Amino acid sequence: MSRYNLDYLDELEAEAIHILREVAGQFEKPALLFSGGKDSITLVRLAEKAFRPGKFPFPLVHIDTGHNFEETIDYRDRMIERIGERLIVGHVQDSIDQGKVIEQTGKNASRNALQTVTLLDTISAHGFDACIGGARRDEEKARAKERIFSVRDEFGQWDPKRQRPELWNIYNGRIHKGENVRVFPISNWTELDVWNYIRREGIELPSIYFAHERDCIVRNGQWMAASPFLNMDEEDVVYHKKVRFRTVGDMSCTAAVESDADQIDDIIAEISASKISERGARLDDKVSEAAMEDRKKGGYF
């Protein structure tokens, strides 16, 4: 027997492309959830590899909290222009205006939790039966047990006890009406794998991933970008710092890390040596040890 073994990035890429094509083959109306973060940007690249020169067999869906970094929205619009695919935007502001959710108040107010409602409404309004997301199993320990095809009931709930066994590379996407499946093609990638892939493929990212100067304040021991969305008051001291962001979420809940890494090589070096995991910079996971598990049960990405 010969010794042809794929390089790890080639293997991860081939697996993700296989999963995306299974989505295309098994579902009537899939969608790709696009957050503007590096993981969903990677998914877009993988979709190009899976379906070009054809069109994507799904639109991109962005849930816009209204508290996004401006750089993310700019990036999104330029990317859509380049790839020529359809974008559907669900606005959390609409859910607030319709009275379906209530804006949080106080210093730790965030629209992060509200977006679940907007997401579920967008899914049902368009009748999506599969939503492709960029979650990875190495992000958090509840995710370590989630399937690549993860079935949600009509309330978007994930039931960790009722997961379908997922064997070999066979994905069972059969569902009843009203249910939908969340699909995670890069489940088996680590944060470092994503960065190495972005470097190898020369993929452009929103500028906030790279070190830049910005006004910041301290919240819960972490650097946050000063913005009108933070409910700042006179007690908040504004510092001018050189920072970058390791994830792209809401301005109200995505913490910055101090960094001089303004090139992708520097970022990879920084992550390789890092002492804080990526989700450590997300305040929304910190509430309790079981925070992620609770949110997933409620239909979070």
Partner 1 sequence: MNILKFFTAGSVDDGKSTLIGRMLYDTGSILADQLEALQSSNRKNDDGTIDLAILTDGLRAEREQGITIDVAYKYFQTDKRKFIIADTPGHIQYTRNMVTGASTARLAIILIDARNGVVEQTIRHSYLVSLLGIKHIVVCINKMDMVDYSETVFTAITEKYRALAAQLNLNDVNFIPVSALKGDNVVQKSERMVWYEGQSLLHFLETVEIEANDDARLSRFPVQWVIRPQTDELHDYRGYAGRIAAGTFRVNDRVTVLPGGSSSVISKIEMFDQQPQEAHAGQSVTIHLEDDIDISRGDLIVNAANQPLQSKMIEADLCWMDARALDTSLTYFLQHNSKLTRCKISEIIYKVDINTLEKHSSDEFKLNDIGRVVIKTADELPFDLYDESRENGAAILVDSRNNLTVGAVMFRAAVA
Q: What residue type is 121 in one-letter code? A: D
Q: Any contact of residue 102 with partner 1 (CB under 8 A)?
A: no
Q: Any contact of residue 153 with partner 1 (CB under 8 A)?
A: no
Selected binder of partner 1 within 62, 76, 111, 137 (CB under 8 A): 137
Beta pairing partners, 90: 63
With respect to partner 1, which residue has the nearer C-beta, 176 or 235? Answer: 176
Selected binder of partner 1 within 73, 242, 264, 280 (CB under 8 A): 280
Closest CA to 284 of 251, 259, 257: 251
**Part of the chain binding partner 1 (CB under 8 A), chosen from 94-102, 167-175, 225-233, 244-252:** 167-175
What's the distance, CA 18 to chain centroid?
20
Selected binder of partner 1 within 94, 166, 236, 270 (CB under 8 A): 166
- 129, two tokens: 């039966």
| Burial state string for 162-191 with b = 16 or more CB within 10 A and e = fewer than 16 | eeeeeeeeebebebeeeebbbbbbbbbbbb
Give residue for tokens 């050189």: 242
Distance CA 30, CA 120 (A): 14
- Give the 3-state secondary structure of residue 179: coil
Q: Any contact of residue 93 with partner 1 (CB under 8 A)?
A: no
Give the footprint of partner 1 on residues 250-279 (CB under 8 A): 274-277
Q: How far is the CB of 3 from partner 1 (least distance, A)?
A: 6
Torsion of CA 194, 197, 203, 207, to 10 degrees: 40
- 91, two tokens: 């606005």
**Part of the chain binding partner 1 (CB under 8 A), chosen from 58-66, 99-107, 160-168, 239-247:** 160-168
With respect to partner 1, which residue has the nearer C-beta, 80 or 175? Answer: 175
Distance CA 286, CA 284 (A): 6
With respect to partner 1, which residue has the nearer C-beta, 14 or 125? Answer: 14
**Part of the chain binding partner 1 (CB under 8 A), chosen from 34-42, 94-102, 170-178, 234-242:** 170-178
Phi, psi (5° rounding) for residue 170?
Answer: -105, 120
Residues 6+ apart with CB under 8 A from 133: 33, 40, 43, 182, 183, 184, 301
With respect to partner 1, which residue has the nearer C-beta, 83 or 192? Answer: 192
Q: How far is the CB of 275 from partner 1 (least distance, A)?
A: 4
Q: How far is the CB of 180 from partner 1 (least distance, A)?
A: 12
Q: How far is the CB of 154 from partner 1 (least distance, A)?
A: 14
Contact residues: partner 1, CB under 8 A: 1-8, 10-15, 17-18, 21-22, 24-25, 48-55, 57, 137-138, 141-142, 144-145, 160-161, 163-170, 172, 174-176, 187-188, 190, 192-193, 274-277, 280, 289-290, 293
